[in-house]
Amino acid sequence: MTYTFNINRRHFLKGAAASLMLGALGVDGMAIIDPSKTWRVGLIGTGWYGKSDLFRLLQVAQVNVVALCDVDRNRLTEAGTLVSQRQKSGKIPTLYGDYLKMLSENQFDIILIGTPDHWHALQAIDALKAGANLYLQKPISADVIEGEAMLAAARKYNRTVQVGMQRRSTPHLIDAKKNIVEAGLLGKISHVEMFCYYHMRNNSNPDIQAVPEFFDYDQWTGPAPLLPYRGLPHGGWWRGFMEYGNGIMGDMGVHMFDAVRWMLNLRWPSKIYSTGGIYQPHEGPSNISDTQTAIFEYDNLNCVWQHRTWGNPADPQYPWGYKIFGEKGTLSCSVMSYDFTPTGEGNKIYKDVIFEKEKFPEDLKEKNIELHTAPATRYHLLNFLSAIENKTIPVADIEEGHISTACCILANLSMETGEPIKYDPQTQKIMNNDRGTQLLKRPYRPSWVHPDPTKV
């Protein structure tokens, strides 16, 4: 028997807004799940966002958190205590430093992955092979071939994968998609600008240090190059290095590019071109670009990305977001709001982010929570659970996550090679660009094997 599920068994939306927002959940506008089902869950990577995703899941479903895994014993122990305080059983999950051991010793309905980008592919594929459905943080991979292998594994093992691109489940952005874009208020759309002007590039220059006994730095590094240890890399330090991720383009750009693709029903662009680099002086070892522009070309439409980790935002109200330009008006969107401004006469439309502080007062006590994204993550997780139970495609399916991730990686490859990129997902090659094709697959450290899409 199935039920229309209300978060915490409470009516969390009313009237017309309910049907709109529940549209994010996927099944005839409603999330259809069995509220009596208990989901066996494991988390790999117990840092800030891994725990945040898990805590949101605990709010919307019956969950037995079976196990947690992290290579930082201090962080792992703290996470175990926090989970025991939130789950109904009051039990501390079994704690692991080795995710493969965790997967082999337990059965899971769902694995959540909140590790750094360079670990996503191996952990995701292993979790899928173990029979788990997957809630995977973005970007899905550190290189394009990893993403192709992850997509192949999800289809081969017939598992549901939801990527943490929760702009697709953000209530005010769902409203904008339906009531501005699909309602035709913009008219013909021929240009999109996406951007991030946050000063989030770490330019500090810490000394090389001894690795503390509670932290397995070699295992944290995994298949990536083993860089000198300059302090605990989690907490954001790793994001300053291309060895572990894909810079601001792969971190912040993937969210907005994915949101635009979803809002405008776009797939792979025909061509990608990017330029940029490190333009502002600094003494630290971080090697990601501080300035970058990328163009994703579609038929009669350019989607342009811009980031600067210095200076002021072009529009102070929208420091991270996107603007869709149509013949009849402009739509500005961010995680906090949207604005529709018509060309000429007409009414402006503004919608704010929805908080759920009254419905979930525990959010207010959670350390480092992003209150404005908590509702979107809850809806995203409900859509994920509904997709598992009803064998439907979730709103941020692995294929959608792969396209958005790969395009951002390809933009970086264009910046590196100085050439436009035309990627063929059928052949998994860059057309007429042998050097670019070689860069689709990162070299792994010895003893680590890069996943092969044909052999997962």
In this predicted model, what pLDDT tens digit does every residue of 217-256 receive, in sequence order? 999 999 999 999 999 999 889 999 999 999 999 999 999 9
What percent of the chain is predicted at pLDDT more than 70? 93
The pLDDT assigned to 35 comes to 87
> Between residues 422 and 344, which one has the greater pLDDT?
422
pLDDT band at 25 (very low <50, low <70, confident <90, very high): very low
Q: Using the structure block, give the residue that is written with the tokens 């604005």.
A: 339
* Domain spans, the chain: 3-168+370-398, 170-360+402-438
Distance CA 307, CA 254 (A): 12
Would you state the structure tokens that stand for residue 182, as one six-digit string? Answer: 């699909």
pLDDT per position as a tens digit, 447-456: 999 999 999 9
| 456 contacts 125 by C-beta, under 8 angstroms | yes
Going from the C-alpha of 146 to that of each of 86, 180, 221, 324, 444, the distances in angstroms are 34, 36, 17, 31, 11
Would you state the structure tokens that stand for residue 377, as one six-digit string? Answer: 């993550």
pLDDT band at 32 (very low <50, low <70, confident <90, very high): confident
Distance CA 114, CA 43 (A): 7
pLDDT per position as a tens digit, 330-366: 999 999 999 999 998 889 999 999 999 999 999 999 9
Distance CA 316, CA 235 (A): 26
pLDDT per position as a tens digit, 277-291: 999 988 899 999 999
CATH number, domain 170-360+402-438, options 3.40.50.720, 1.20.910.10, 3.40.50.410, 3.30.360.10: 3.30.360.10
The pLDDT assigned to 1 comes to 33
CATH number for the domain whose boundaries are 3-168+370-398: 3.40.50.720
**CA-derived radius of gyration, the chain:** 21
The pLDDT assigned to 344 comes to 87
Distance CA 456, CA 451 (A): 7
pLDDT band at 6 (very low <50, low <70, confident <90, very high): very low
> Between residues 3 and 272, which one has the greater pLDDT?
272
Select from 421, 54, 51 the least CA-distant residue to 270.
421
The pLDDT assigned to 24 comes to 37
Q: What is the mean pLDDT of residues 403-410?
A: 98
Distance CA 447, CA 199 (A): 37
The pLDDT assigned to 235 comes to 84
The pLDDT assigned to 10 comes to 33
Decide: residue 93, CB within 10 A, 0-12 exposed, 13-18 middle, 19+ buried: buried
Q: What is the mean pLDDT of residues 397-418?
A: 98
| 157 contacts 361 by C-beta, under 8 angstroms | no
pLDDT per position as a tens digit, 166-206: 999 999 999 999 999 999 999 999 999 999 999 999 999 99
> Mean pLDDT of all residues in the chain?
93
What percent of the chain is predicted at pLDDT more than 90? 90
Given a cut of 50, whether residue 3 has pLDDT beyond it is no
- Cβ contacts of 259 within 8 Å, gap of 6 or more: 165, 167, 168, 173, 322, 333
The pLDDT assigned to 7 comes to 40
Distance CA 167, CA 371 (A): 14
| 453 contacts 152 by C-beta, under 8 angstroms | yes
Q: Quick check: helix, strand or coil at residue 289?
A: coil
The pLDDT assigned to 115 comes to 98
Strands (E), 223-367: 271-277, 291-298, 301-308, 320-326, 329-334, 337-342, 349-352
**What is the CB-side half-sphere exposure of residue 69 using CA atoms within 13 A?**
23
Distance CA 397, CA 392 (A): 10
φ and ψ of 417, to 5 deg: -90, -20
Would you state the structure tokens that stand for residue 455, as one six-digit string? Answer: 């052999």
Q: What is the mean pLDDT of residues 114-129?
A: 98
The pLDDT assigned to 30 comes to 53
Under DSSP, the state recorded for 300 is T
pLDDT per position as a tens digit, 57-103: 999 999 999 999 999 999 999 999 999 999 999 999 999 999 999 99
Strand 38-44 to 62-69 pairing = parallel
